[in-house]
Amino acid sequence: MSGTRPAPPSGAARVGRALLDRLRRLWGWLAPRLRRALTFWRRSIQARVVASTLVLSAVVISGVGWILLQQTRDGLLRHRAEVVLGEVDAEVSDARDRLEAASGTEVNAGRQQRDLVDPIIERGVSRGYAVVLAGPEGDDPPLRTGGGEYTSGLDLVSVPRSLEDHFDGVNRPTAWTYTDIVRRPRDATTGVEGPTTRVPGIIVGSQVQLPSDGKTYTLYFLFPLTEEKDTLGLVTRALLTAAGLLLALVAGLTWVVTRQVVTPIRMARQVAERLAAGRLQERLQVAGEDDIARLAYSFNQMATNLQRQIRQLEELSWVQRRFVSDVSHELRTPLTTVRMASDVLHDAREQFDPGTARAAELLQAELDRFENLLVDLLEISRFDAGAAVLTPENVNLGDVVRRVVAAAQPLADQRGIRVVVEEPRVPVRAEVDVRRVERIVRNLVTNAIDHALVDDPDEAVIVRLASDDEAAAITVRDHGIGLAPGEASMVFNRFWRSDPARTRTSGGTGLGLAIAQEDAHLHGGWLQAWGRTGQGAQFRLTVPRHNGGTLRHSPLPLIPEDAASSDAAVVGPGTVVPAREEER
C-alpha cells in the first residue's frame, strides 16, 4: 500500500507552536491567580478603600509635585538667565572698550577679530561657557560649515536657526534663548574625536562693530545649565522620595482606619451568617461606647427579639400542626359514623320525596369532599412533621400520565376539553414514588381542565414528557385564564384560588398544589409555574431520573414556545424572569 507522508512542519510552525504552548502555560499559571485577586478585590472593602485612597493621593501628590517642579525650574532658569545676561553685558562692554582703544590705523580685520574673540574664548573656557563669533553681517557667513571663530570642540549646530535669523542685520538688540550645547571634543595629539555630549543651555547673542573694517559681527555666548539640571534632579528625587514615603504613610493610616471599621462589620457578618444557619444564641461582643459599640448592642437586641419571635412562631406553628393533625384524626371517627348514616340515606333516596332525595345526594357529595379534605390535611400534617417518606421504583412516567389522563377523561368530556399527551418514542423512565407522582400529575391535569376555555374547541390541555441522562420532566399546558404576575407568587399557597368566584368542577380542596409541591421537593425535584393573563398557564414537574440525584436543568422549557417574548414569565412560586430567558 503506497502513500505520501505528510510534510514535516516548518521551522516557523514549530516556533509558533512552541510560543503558543508557552502562552498557554503562562495563562494556566496566571489565570487562577487573577481569579483569586479579582475575588479578593470584590469581597474586600478594605482593599478597595485603601486602593482608592492611594490612587487619589497619588493624583494629588503628582499634581502638587509637578507644580513645585515647574516653579523650581522656572525660578532656577530665571535666575540663571539674569546672571548670564549680566555676564554677557560685561563681556560685550569690555570688548567694545578694547575695540575703541585700538589704534585707528589698524586695518588688519582678521587680527582684530582674533584680538577680540581670543580673550573672550579663554575666559569662557575657564568659566565654563563657549563663545562663537559670526559675521560680518551682510555677507553670507558660513557658520554652519565651520566658518567663524568659536570655542574648540563646540558643534555649531548649538546655535539655533531662530537666533541666527534675529541677527540678520545690523544694530540688532541683544537676544537670548534656550538651546542644546553639543560638543565633539578632539584629541590634540591624535586628532580623534571623542564621544559627542549634549547638555541644555542658554545662548545669548550680541553685536559688535570692528573699527578695522566697519562691519558688524555677532558674538554668541553659550552657557550650560548643568548645575541647574543637577539641582532640579536633586529636587525631583527628593520629591519622589517624599511622595513615596507619604503614600506609604497614607496607605498604612488608611489600612489601620478601615480595619478598625471593617473588623466589626466582618464580625457582624459572621454572626449574622451563624444566626441565619439557625444558631440563634450567637451575639456580638460589645466593647466601648462609640458608634460601633452601639451598633453591636442594637444588633444583639435585634437578634434577641428575632430569637424570641422565631421561638414563638415555632411554638405557634407546632401548635397549629398538632391541632390540624389531632382534628384530622379525631374527625375520622365521627365521619365514619356519619358516612354510614349517609350511605343508608343515599341508598334509600328513591323512597323519599324529591327534596329529601336531593338532600341525601348533596350530603353524600359533601361527605366525599370532606373526606378528601381530611386526607389532604393528614398529608399536609405529615409533611409538616417531616414524617413523609418515599417508596421509589423505576417506572415509565408515560404509563402514569396516561393512567391519570384516562381517569380525568370523564371530567374533560363533561366540560368539552380535549386532553392531548405528547411523549417521545423512547420511554421516559425514572425512580419515583408512583403514588406521589400520580397525585402531582392528577392535580395539574384537573386544574388545567378546570381553568381551560370551554368556548374554544380548538384549544386543548397538552401534557408533554421528556427526559435526558439526569432528569425527567412533565409539563401541563392550558390556554385558560392564566396567572397574573401578582397571583403567581401565591399559586402554591394552601387554600388559594386564582378566581375565588370560580366554581371548581373537580371539587378540589385548595391543598392540591401545596401537596404537589411538597411531593416534588420530597423527590429532590422542582414544581414550577408559568402564567400569562388571558393566555393560559403551564406547570412543569422535574425529577431526577435516579433516586437521590441532583437536578441542574430540566429537559423541557418552562416557558411555552407559543408564548410571546414581550411579557414576563414566572418561574416557581413568585419568581419573575424575562420570557425570552431559558431558566436553569
Give dist(CA 42, CA 56) in Å, integer: 19
> Do the first three CATH levels of 102-224 and 283-387 match, i.e. the same topology?
no
Rounded distance, CA 188 to CA 193, Å?
9
Give domain 393-578's CATH superfamily: Histidine kinase-like ATPase, C-terminal domain (3.30.565.10)
CA angle 426, 432, 436 (to 5 degrees): 120
Given this model, what pLDDT does residue 584 score? 39
Q: What pLDDT score does 108 carry?
A: 60
Look up residue 2 and give its three cell numbers.
503506497
The predicted structure's pLDDT at residue 127: 85
Supply the CATH classification number for the domain 283-387: 1.10.287.130
pLDDT for the residue 569: 42
Determine the pLDDT at residue 290.
74
**Dist. CA 180–CA 202, nearest whole Å:** 8
At 570 the pLDDT is 43
Q: d(Cα 247, Cα 241) in Å, to the nearest integer?
A: 10
Q: Which residues of the chain have pLDDT under 50?
A: 1-2, 105-107, 142, 145-146, 501, 503-506, 565-584
Looking at residue 9, its pLDDT comes to 58
Confidence (pLDDT) at 245: 93
Q: How wide is the angle at C-alpha 369 spanned by C-alphas 366 and 371, nearest 5°?
A: 110
Pick the CATH number of 102-224 from 2.30.30, 3.30.450, 3.30.70, 3.30.1490: 3.30.450
Prediction pTM value: 0.49
Q: Tell me: cis bond preceding 136? Omega within 30 of 0 counts.
A: yes
Dihedral pair phi/psi, residue 382, rounded to 5°: -70, -40
Residue 236, C-alpha cell as written in the block: 525631583
Q: Residue 118: left if φ>0, alpha if ψ -120 to 50, beta else—which one? A: alpha
Give the pLDDT score at 577: 36
Question: What is the CB neighbour count within 10 angstroms for residue 205?
Answer: 23
Compute the distance between CA of residue 3 and CA of residue 6 in angstroms, rounded to an integer.
10
Q: What is the pLDDT of residue 105?
A: 46
Q: What's the pLDDT score for residue 379?
A: 72
Nearest C-alpha neighbor of 232 from the set 68, 98, 353: 68
Contact yes or no for 295/306 (Cβ under 8 A): no
Domain layout of the chain by residue ranges: 102-224, 283-387, 393-578
> Which string of DSSP letters, residue by residue, matches 59-92?
HHHHHHHHHHHHHHHHHHHHHHHHHHHHHHHHHH
- Between CA 584 and CA 568 the distance in angstroms is 16
Cell of residue 544, nine digits: 431526577
Residues in the chain: 584
